[in-house]
C-alpha cells in the first residue's frame, strides 16, 4: 500500500513538473509584457506602455489582420479538402494509395525552415512570387497533411455497417456522407489542430526565435 502511494505521489509530481515545464515560460512571457524593460530586465517595473504602443502601430495591426484572415481561410480550405481526401482514402482502393499516404508524413517531419525555403524557391520559379497569396498556399500545403492524418485516424474507428444500413434504408451517397459519416468525424479537434498550426506558422513567419523581432 505504501509503495502504491509513493508511485502515485511520484506520478502527480511528474505531471506537475511537466505542466510547469510547458506553461511556466508562457506565464513568464505574459508577465514580462507588463515590464517597463523590453529586455526582461529585473527588478520588475509595472507598465502598460507596450500595449498602448501596440494599438498605435498601424503596420502591426495590419499584419495581425492579415494573419487572422490567412488563419481563417487556411482552416476552411484545409478542413474541406482534408476531410474530402480522408474520405476518399478511407472508402476507395486505387493504385498508388499507399504511396500517397506515405507522402503525407514528410511535410510533418521536415523542419519548417527547409520546407519554407523550398516553397519560396518554387513559388519564384513558377511565377507565383511572394505575398499573401503565397503565404496562404504555403500554410495550406503545411496544414493539410495534419488534417488528413487526424481525420483518417478517426475514420479507422468508424463502423462501415452504419453506412451500409443508411444505404439499405434508401439514402444516397451524399446523404450517407452528410448525415452518417461526417458527424462521426472529430470536426472540433480538427479545427483546433489546424488553427493551432496556422497560428504557430504565422508566429514563425513574423518572429525570429531567439533573435530580434
Predicted pLDDT at 210: 42
User: Residue 212: its pLDDT value, please?
Assistant: 44
Q: How far is CA 30 from CA 50, 61, 165, 198, in A?
A: 12, 19, 53, 21
By 3-state DSSP, what share of the chain in percent is helix, strand and coil, each rounded to 5?
Answer: 75, 0, 25
- Count of residues in the chain: 213
Residue in this structure with the C-alpha cell 452528410, named with its chain if needed: 178
Q: Does the pLDDT of residue 133 top 50, yes or no? A: yes
Task: Tell me the CA distances in angstroms from 5 to 2, 9, 14, one per residue in order.
Answer: 5, 6, 14
Q: Which three cell numbers stand for residue 68?
A: 487572422
| 191-204 mean pLDDT | 62
| C-beta of residue 71 within 8 angstroms of C-beta of residue 199 | yes
**Does the pLDDT at position 93 exceed 60?**
yes
Helix pair angle (112-126, 132-155), 10° resolution: 130
Best CA proximity match to 156, nearest among 98, 89, 101, 93: 89
Output the average pLDDT for the chain.
77
Segment 56-92, tens digit of pLDDT:
778 878 888 888 888 888 888 988 888 888 888 877 7
**Stated pTM of the model:** 0.60
Separation CA 125–CA 119 (nearest Å): 10
pLDDT at 137 over 70: yes
Task: Output the pLDDT for position 49.
Answer: 80
* Residue with the larger pLDDT of the pair 48 and 206: 48
Amino acid at each position: 500500500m505504501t509503495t502504491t502511494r509513493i508511485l502515485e505521489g511520484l506520478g502527480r509530481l511528474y505531471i506537475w513538473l511537466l505542466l510547469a515545464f510547458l506553461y511556466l515560460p508562457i506565464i513568464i512571457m505574459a508577465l514580462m509584457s507588463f515590464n517597463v524593460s523590453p529586455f526582461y530586465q529585473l527588478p520588475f517595473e509595472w507598465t502598460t506602455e507596450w500595449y498602448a504602443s501596440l494599438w498605435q502601430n498601424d503596420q502591426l495591426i495590419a499584419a495581425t489582420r492579415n494573419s487572422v484572415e490567412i488563419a481563417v481561410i487556411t482552416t476552411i480550405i484545409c478542413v474541406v479538402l482534408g476531410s474530402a481526401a480522408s474520405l476518399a482514402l478511407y472508402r476507395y482502393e486505387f493504385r498508388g494509395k499507399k504511396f500517397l499516404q506515405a507522402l503525407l508524413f514528410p511535410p510533418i517531419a521536415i523542419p519548417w525552415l527547409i520546407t519554407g525555403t523550398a516553397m519560396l524557391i518554387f513559388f519564384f520559379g513558377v511565377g507565383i512570387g511572394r505575398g499573401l497569396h503565397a503565404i496562404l498556399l504555403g500554410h495550406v500545403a503545411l496544414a493539410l497533411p495534419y488534417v488528413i492524418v487526424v481525420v483518417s485516424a478517426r475514420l479507422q474507428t468508424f463502423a462501415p455497417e452504419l453506412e451500409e444500413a443508411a444505404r439499405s434504408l434508401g439514402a444516397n451517397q451524399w446523404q450517407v456522407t452528410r448525415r452518417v459519416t461526417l458527424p462521426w468525424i472529430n470536426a472540433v479537434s480538427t479545427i483546433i489542430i489546424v488553427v493551432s498550426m496556422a497560428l504557430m506558422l504565422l508566429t514563425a513567419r513574423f518572429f525570429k526565435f531567439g533573435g530580434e523581432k
